[in-house]
Structure 1
Amino acid sequence: MKIVYIGNNLKRGNPTTLQNLSALLSTVGYRIKVYGTSKNKFLRILEMVFGVCKNYKATYVLIDTYSTTNFYYALIISQLCRCLGVSYIPILHGGNLPVRLKKNPLLSKLIFKNSYNNSTPSLYLETEFNNQGYETVYIPNPMQLESYKFKKRSHISLKLLWVRAFDEIYNPNMAIEVVSELKKRGITAYLSMVGPDKDGSFADCKELAIKLGVENKIEFTGYLSKEKWVQKAANYDIFINTTTVDNIPVSVLEAMTLGLPVISTNVGGIPYLIKDKFNGFLVENNNVDEMVASVLDLTKMNSSDINILIDNARVTAENCDEGKVLKKWQEILK
């Protein structure tokens, strides 16, 4: 069976969802043709169109679908598939796609009502799309769980880890403000911030750390490969996620797999992943005081309660095991 996969195939940083899923499907004999390598947006859509036309006899076209510019890529490719008589499956990733459904109902209907199926690695998007009448199936992003060494913890220290791109929507300043607020209370915490700069927020965060007098308590590593930050995570005890908009962040799932207790803002698809005080902690968006309180609550937990929390988180993450994910895809790609 031949499958064309349209999405982000840029050769930089850690492997993308497209690269992981196409590699997984290839292991059981699917012939995957991937398109989306050009950094130039115009050239990228030309490459995508060419790929679909060249492989018009493919059984399926998979389309990674987001809520911004990529939404229009998905629109163009989906309608081209309809013209060629090729079945296509949008894979829904963008946390703001429910807004797009309301903002562009006609364009959304053209894409999602005429698809062979709609899939998403987000329970949030599955719920939102089904509520809007677009039949959608939940299939998590695949993870090699054996690559993540689970660590039991007898106590929680004030060593915090943040892993994300430095971008305003991920609110990295909040992580620094948490360390500052703890310092105001006479409590010393250490924070490592891992990730590449995306919009200039990296420099802003360094300036903020100096302004708040916590620069000697914060490490800025820049980009690290997945292997390196996972190895680094063994030396930390709390993972904080400060985003203002999100879906199902892979870094949060990875932290849960590693046994790192997670404290996250309660936005987008996060509450579909984390249940407060069951497999992590949820705080209101941009609420530094709530995150500080949750950090301190974690440090006061006994070892039994800590390990119940992180065991629950690990079980949640195990739904993303690549073997389980592959079976779900095989059910669709019959």
Structure 2
Amino acid sequence: MKNLLYIGNKLSKHGVTPTTIEILGPLLELEAFRVSYSSSHGNKLLRVIDMLWSVFQSRKADCVLIDVYSTTNFWYAFAVSQLCRCLNLKYIPILHGGNLASRLKNNPKICRMIFKHSFQNVAPSFFLMQKFKDAGYENVMYIPNSIELENYPFLERKKAKPNLLWVRSFAKIYNPMMAVEVFASIKKKYPEATLCMVGPEKDGSLSEVRQRAKELKLDILFTGKLSKNDWINKSKEYDIFINTTHFDNMPVSVIEAMTLGLAIVSTNVGGIPFLLENQKDALLVPDGDVNRMIDAIDRLIGDSDLFSSITTNARRKAEQFDWQLVKVQWLTLLK
């Protein structure tokens, strides 16, 4: 049995949306890996200390998996990777965040210290894999984010109604305010329209969005963080999934919406065009373009054939992210 240490933000108990560490880790355990985790501390300083101490304690582990993001967590990954080097531990950075590519330009020396010495770098999107290859990293491979497809029943909708669903953490990088502005216009044309926004607060954006909705006299359903099963059940009440983000990589929430039969309307940023094909399995609009997103939603409502083809194609594409297929790549890499 292989012993793995997984380093990342295991923070769902603090009300944060579960990240890859809480999805991939348990799946690997089902494949007979012994996995230990760090860290679930809410305090950032205690978290990085716990991460480093866990690496030291696990210095006989077969491999260390490290979730790498582009903001503060980038520095956690740097510290952990350098300790792994000192202890001669194999480590695998798992690359997240549509803005991670900017680190390659802004911190090239630090990036080389992390990624040039890794056993392998894993990119969950072709977007990040290409960015890393362009920066001269050959030790990078594509393994997509996965879902357990059996948990996502496809609901065939014959016709799109103006019922919109948004699922993400409330953070400026995900531009939740755009969803409100889009809904304001949709509501004028379709008085029966609804918008549900699912996700936890992250940087104060939720209060700003609530205030804007109040100013516009919009009745938006804010559910807060929901469990996976709860938001899947909630999705049955909606037809169109709007993704308003400024930066993105390989968003699991979008893949999940594809499997459930929702039509995707998304900003065309980061890894999105590597995941979705405009006019085929989604409608893509420029970053921050409220009017283009409104037009796209209007098209889906008015054109049942387009709506049907997009949702069918999206489900077919999403099936390639089933864990039963993706796990083969992980097992090959780790064993």
TM range (shorter): over 0.9
Could you tell me which of 173, 190, 197 is aligned with 2:177?
A: 173
Could you tell me which of 104, 107, 111 is aligned with 1:104?
A: 107
Shift of 1:114: 0.7
Normalising by the residue count of structure 2, what TM-score does the alignment of the two structures yield?
0.94
Residue 223 of structure 2 corresponds to which residue in structure 1? 221
Could you tell me which of 261, 268, 284 is aligned with 1:259?
A: 261
In 2, Cα distance between equivalents of 1:144 and 1:47:
30
The one-letter code of the counterpart of 2:242 is: I
In 2, Cα distance between equivalents of 1:253 and 1:99:
24
Is the 1:3–1:60 Cα contact (8 Å) retained in structure 2? Answer: yes
Shift of 1:302: 2.7
Two-structure CA RMSD over aligned residues (Å): 1.5
Residue 67 of structure 2 corresponds to which residue in structure 1? 64
Could you tell me which of 269, 277, 280 is aligned with 2:279?
A: 277
The one-letter code of the counterpart of 1:17 is: T
Shift of 1:203: 2.0
Residue 21 of structure 2 corresponds to which residue in structure 1? 18
Q: Which moved more, 1:200-209 or 1:13-22?
A: 13-22
Partner deviation per Cα, 1:119-139 (whole Å, 9 max, x = no partner):
021221111111111131111
Is the 1:279–1:313 Cα contact (8 Å) retained in structure 2? Answer: yes
Percent sequence identity is: 48
Shift of 1:309: 1.4
Is the 1:248–1:269 Cα contact (8 Å) retained in structure 2? Answer: yes
Is the 1:60–1:89 Cα contact (8 Å) retained in structure 2? Answer: yes
Residue 81 of structure 1 corresponds to which residue in structure 2? 84
Is the 2:97–2:247 Cα contact (8 Å) retained in structure 1? Answer: no
In 1, Cα distance between equivalents of 2:73 and 2:166:
27
- 1:153 is aligned to 2:154: no
In 2, Cα distance between equivalents of 1:78 and 1:45:
12
What are the ranges of 5 or more consecutive residues in structure 1 without an aligned counterpart?
Answer: none
Matches within 5 A, 1:1-334: 1-12=2-13, 13=15, 14-135=17-138, 136-185=140-189, 188-213=192-217, 215-216=218-219, 218-303=220-305, 305-334=306-335
SS in 1 for 2:208: helix
Normalising by the residue count of structure 1, what TM-score does the alignment of the two structures yield?
0.95
Shift of 1:144: 1.0
Is the 1:91–1:120 Cα contact (8 Å) retained in structure 2? Answer: yes
Q: Which moved more, 1:281-290 or 1:314-323?
A: 314-323
The one-letter code of the counterpart of 2:269 is: V
**Compared CA separation, residues 300 and 88, structure 1 to 2 (3 A):** same
In 2, Cα distance between equivalents of 1:219 and 1:11:
22
Shift of 1:242: 0.8
Partner deviation per Cα, 1:269-293 (whole Å, 9 max, x = no partner):
1111111111001011111110110
